[in-house]
Amino acid sequence: MKEIKIQNIIISEEKAPLVVPEIGINHNGSLELAKIMVDAAFSAGAKIIKHQTHIVEDEMSKAAKKVIPGNAKISIYEIMQKCALDYKDELALKEYTEKL
């Protein structure tokens, strides 16, 4: 298997597996909670994380405003709006993570 390099991380058969914790949208739109999750991942030994960036109005259809998941009382569109970080917070999280 060919080596894969992500900045200073090498992925190969000879290296330990690379575990990638996913923060996703579990921060519920809170930059501070996202930072806490990043800190927890790195404290647990993570070298990288996966984070989802959502631009709700570009990725959700108008029909999504009427779709209410079985485990929710609001539409999936509203859930995604609530859980998305704005552009300024996305950049702040990126900068915060890259400093670790």
Mean per-residue pLDDT of the chain: 95
Q: Is the pLDDT of residue 1 over 90?
A: no
DSSP conformation class of 17: P
- pLDDT, residue 78, reads 96
The closest alpha carbon to 41, from 19, 26, 25, belongs to 19
Say if residues 69 and 79 touch (Cβ distance below 8 Å). yes
Instruction: Kindly tell me if the per-residue pLDDT of 71 is higher than 80.
Output: yes
Please determine, for residue 5, whether its predicted confidence score (pLDDT) is greater than 80.
Answer: yes
